[in-house]
Amino acid sequence: MEHFLKMKDVKKQGNSLKVHKKMFTMLSKEKFVFKVPEERVKDLVNSGDGLPYDPGTGKQMKEWVIIPLEIHEKWIDYAQEAKEFVTTKSKK
């Protein structure tokens, strides 16, 4: 998280990071979760790099994916991708 907190447009709120008041990554139940386009979530799940994210409601969130601890070396890349997605989406 420290990597992104050095950026002036990123703010920390609880266990999440936000850009332009929109959450792009969070720590949920000791799992890192990232917001990316729905198709990207499907790609990550199908490749084995990601897991579907259910916040505990029994319903999977379409634009959120868990990146397991086993591939923690990719977290910064996925967080950057999520930040770019949220930034682009908020400009629409």
Residue of 48, 82, 85 whose CA lies nearest to 68: 48
Integer Cα distance of 22 and 51 in angstroms: 22
Residues of the domain holding 39: 2-90
Query: Which residues on neighbouring strands pair with residue 13, listed in sequence order?
Result: 16
* pLDDT per residue as tens digits for the range 31-79: 899 999 999 999 999 999 999 999 999 999 999 999 988 888 889 999 9
Higher-pLDDT residue of 20, 36: 36
CB 19 within 8 A of CB 9: yes
How many domains would you assign to the chain? 1
What would the two tokens of residue 20 be?
């332009």
- Residue 92 — very low, low, confident or very high, per pLDDT cuts 50/70/90? low
**In this structure, what are the phi and psi dihedrals at residue 21, rounded to the nearest 5 degrees?**
65, 15
Domain containing residue 27: CATH number: 3.30.1460.30
Going by pLDDT thresholds of 50, 70 and 90, the confidence category of residue 28 is: confident
Whole-model pTM over 0.75: yes
